[in-house]
Amino acid sequence: MPKPRVLIVEDEADIRELIEYALTREGLEAETAADGTAGLAAVRRRVPDLVLLDLMLPGVDGLEVCRRLKADDATSKVPIIMVTAKGDESDVVLGLGLGADDYVAKPFSPKELVARVQAVLRRSRSATSVNDKQVIDHGPVRIDPNRHKVFVLDDEVPLTATEFRILLYLASRPGRVFSRDQILAFALGPNTIVTDRSVDVHIRAIRKKLGEHRDLVETVRGIGYRFSEEPAVH
Ligand code: CA
């Protein structure tokens, strides 16, 4: 298999070089762009396997780059990991809504960054082969989309239809963060009027029903929720 190619869009040279070094050391191929316009041009020249996208860029900013990549059929499937300043939760939520896959907040460790990149690459590879109706086995939890049933070990967990949809949505992409808006849109449909808080209420109910495996549904402060990538060991 050829080396995965990552495009790094980052205006700060030190950070750009740090990321490039960390990725190439782990056997990935890296290309760099110093601003949004150069980043878009690089993607059009040769579509990468993943884009690491700084949000605070001069000129065309990161969110706009994300918007344009997702709006173009040729590039809409390329996974994007946003690189954000600490405390930029509202931009992260916007970016997730635009279709970005994940984010890393500065300052980050190179090790953490590489792990995120590899996780998203893994997910994007498996996403092309996974059937939506496939049973999800995640440690002690089994989610069966065909029968609309969830089991912890062999015990069925009695979820409501909405709770089931939320859990299925999160668990179909372990490790990926979803904003409350994304969860609502998926679980309740786009035409339902609900508040953010109702997601929290559903999540609380799901956790309660998962009992000792409640930690599988993780809170990402200021952003939303994700399903743990590591199956819980109890
Ligand atoms: Ca920047």
pLDDT in tens, 144-198: 988 889 999 889 999 988 889 899 999 988 888 999 888 887 777 655 555 556 8
**Is 128 a residue whose pLDDT tops 60?**
no
Q: Which residues pair with 144 in a beta bridge?
A: 149
Q: How far is the CA of 28 from the centre of ligand 1 (A)?
A: 22
User: Which tokens go with 133?
Assistant: 């109706």
Q: How far is the CA of 32 from the centre of ligand 1 (A)?
A: 13
Q: How far is the CA of 218 from the centre of ligand 1 (A)?
A: 28
- Closest to 83 (Cα-Cα) out of 152, 143, 36: 36
* C-beta atoms surrounding 178 within 10 Å: 24
SS3 state at 167:
helix
Strand 224-227's sheet: what is its strand order? 177-179, 224-227, 217-220
CA 144 to CA 151: how far, in whole Å? 8
State residue 234's pLDDT score.
44
Handedness of CA 128, 132, 135, 136 (dihedral sign): positive
The secondary structure of residue 231, as a DSSP letter, is P
Tens digits of residue pLDDT in 206-234: 999 999 999 999 999 989 999 998 765 44
Domains of the chain in sequence order? 5-126 (3.40.50.2300), 130-227 (1.10.10.10)
* Angle at CA of residue 34, ends 30 and 36, nearest 5°: 105
CA 219 to CA 230: how far, in whole Å? 15
User: Which tokens go with 10?
Assistant: 């980052």
CA 216 to CA 94: how far, in whole Å? 25
Q: How far is the CA of 57 from the centre of ligand 1 (A)?
A: 5
Tens digits of residue pLDDT in 25-61: 999 999 999 999 999 999 999 999 999 999 999 999 9
Q: How far is the CA of 55 from the centre of ligand 1 (A)?
A: 6
CA 78 to CA 159: how far, in whole Å? 34
